[in-house]
Amino acid sequence: MVNIFIARHGQDVDNRNGILNGHRDLPLTEKGIAEAHQVADLISAAKLHFDAVYTSPLLRASETAAIITTVQGGPMPIKEDLLIERDFGIMTGKKVADISMLCASDILITDMATYFLEPFGAETFPDLLKRSRLLLDKLEKLHPSGNILLVAHGDIGKMLYAEYYHLHWEEVLMQFHFGNCDLLLLSADSPASASHVFQIR
Q: Is 197 annotated as a binding residue?
A: no
85 is catalytic: yes
Q: Is 38 annotated as a binding residue?
A: no
Whether the CB-CB separation of 179 and 7 falls below 8 Å is answered with: no
Considering the candidates 9, 35, 63, 153, report the single residue annotated as catalytic.
9
Interhelix angle 30-45/59-72, rounded to 10 degrees, is 40
Considering the candidates 35, 63, 80, 85, report the single residue annotated as catalytic.
85
What is the rounded distance in angstroms from the CA atom of residue 169 to the CA atom of residue 143? 26
Q: Is 127 annotated as a binding residue?
A: no
Q: Is 8 annotated as a binding residue?
A: yes
Q: Is 172 annotated as a binding residue?
A: no
What is the rounded distance in angstroms from the CA atom of residue 7 to the CA atom of residue 150? 6
What is the rounded distance in angstroms from the CA atom of residue 64 to the CA atom of residue 47? 19
Q: Is 23 annotated as a binding residue?
A: no
Residues making up the annotated binding site are 8-15, 60
- Residues labelled as active-site residues: 9, 85
Binding residues for substrate: 8-15, 60
